Amino acid sequence: MVINKPKRILIAPLDWGLGHTTRCVPIIRYIQSLGHIPVVAGNAVQRSFIAETFGNIATIHLEGYNIRYSRWNQWAQMGLLSQVPGILKTIRAEHKWLQLLTGDQKIDGIISDNRYGLYHPDIPSVILTHQLLLQTGMGAIADRLIQRMHYKYLEHFDKIWVVDIPGNPNLSGSLAHTEHLPKQAHYIGLLSRLNRLERINQNGGRIVVLLSGPEPLRSELSRLLWKQVKEYNGEVTFIEGSNNAATPDYIPDHISYNKCVTDKELGPILAKAGMVICRSGYSTIMDLVAAEKKAILIPTPGQTEQEYLARYLHDAGVFYSSRQQGFNLNNALTKAADFPYRLPAFNDYYDLYQPAVQEWLNTL
C-alpha cells in the first residue's frame, strides 16, 4: 500500500503485567505494514519486550502505575483501593508527560491501552479497553458509581476501541457488555500476539506453565507451581514471565525452564501443549482461544477482573479455573479432565481490528 506521508503513532500500554503490551503487538505490526511509524511508550520491562519482538523500533520511557497486590486475599481489595490516589496521580503525571512529549516530537495519533491520561486536545486519541464496567468487588451499586467516573475518563478520547466481540458469545462478559455504551465506543474484535499456529500434537500431554502479572503474587504462584511440577511425571514447560526471577538450583530432566520467551518461541510451545496453567488475564485468554488450547486458570487473588473472568469462563464451560490458595496440581488436572472445554470458534474475529485501525489512520 502506497501512502503519501507516514504517520507517527504513539502507542502506550498499561504496565499491569505484560498483557496490555502483548495485545498491542498485532496493532503495531499492522501499523507498520501500512507504512506508518509506531512509537511505543512504556517502562523498562515493556520496552525490552517490544525490542525483542520488533527489533529496531522507537521506544520512549514512560513510568508505569506500579500496582502491587497484597499477599493476603482478605486484604487484597483494600490494598488495591488504597492505591487509588496514586493511580490518579499517575494519570495526571502521564497527561503532563504527553504535553511535553508532543511539544518535542511530531506525533500524529495516539493509541492508549488503558492509560487514561494519554489524550490530547489537538491530536486524535484512541483508548483500548475491555473493561467498561469495572469490577470493584463491593457490589453492583459500587460498580455503577465507579463506572460513571470511569466513563468520564473514557470520554476524553476521540474513540474507544472495545477489545471483544459484540453480542453473545464473547470472552469478557459484563466487563465489556454493558447496558449503555459510551457514544464513541466500537467493538474491534479480539487481539493476540500469536500468529495462526501450526497445529502439532494438539492433544499432547505436555503441561505449559505460563506465569505473568504483578508482584509479589507472580512469585508466590511460581514457587507453589514449581514445587508441584517437580513431582509431576509428564513433560513440563515452565515459563516464569519475569527476567528478574532467580533460576532454580536444580531443574529436573522432565522440565524445560524459561525466564521469558519471545512471541516466536511461545507459538511453538503452545502448539505442543496439552494443558496450559496460567493467570486469567484477558490477553492470556485471547491467546489461549487463538491457539485453541485447554487451560487451568488461576486468577490473581484480589484482582477482581481476573476473578470475574475466571468465574465467567468456568461457568460457560470454556476454561477450568481454580483458586491460588490451596491449589493442587494433581487434583486440578483430574477435575480438568472431566471439564467440557467448549472453546468458541473465534479465529475469524482476530482480524476485525484492522478496518478500525486503517479507517482511523486515514483520518489523520
Write down the pLDDT at residue 78. Answer: 45
Q: Do the first three CATH levels of 8-190+349-362 and 206-345 match, i.e. the same topology?
A: yes
Low-confidence ranges of the chain (pLDDT < 50): 72-79, 199-201
Write down the pLDDT at residue 74. Answer: 41
**From CA 26, how far away is CA 249, in angstroms rounded?**
37
Write down the pLDDT at residue 76. Answer: 44
70: its cell numbers = 497484597
Q: Which residues pair with 297 in a beta bridge?
A: 278, 321
For the chain, the structural domain boundaries read 8-190+349-362, 206-345
Number of CB atoms found within 10 A of residue 274's CB? 16
Number of CB atoms found within 10 A of residue 147's CB? 18
Q: What's the CATH number for 206-345?
A: 3.40.50.2000
Q: Is residue 81 helix, strand or coil?
A: helix
Write down the pLDDT at residue 216. Answer: 84
Write down the pLDDT at residue 201. Answer: 46
Homologous superfamily of 8-190+349-362:
Glycogen Phosphorylase B; (3.40.50.2000)
Q: At what angle do helices 282-291 and 263-271 cross, to 10 degrees?
A: 60
Write down the pLDDT at residue 333. Answer: 97
Write down the pLDDT at residue 73. Answer: 45
191 Cβ contact partners less than 8 Å away, ≥ 6 residues apart: 23, 24, 26, 27, 163, 283, 286, 350, 353
Write down the pLDDT at residue 13. Answer: 97
Write down the pLDDT at residue 67. Answer: 62
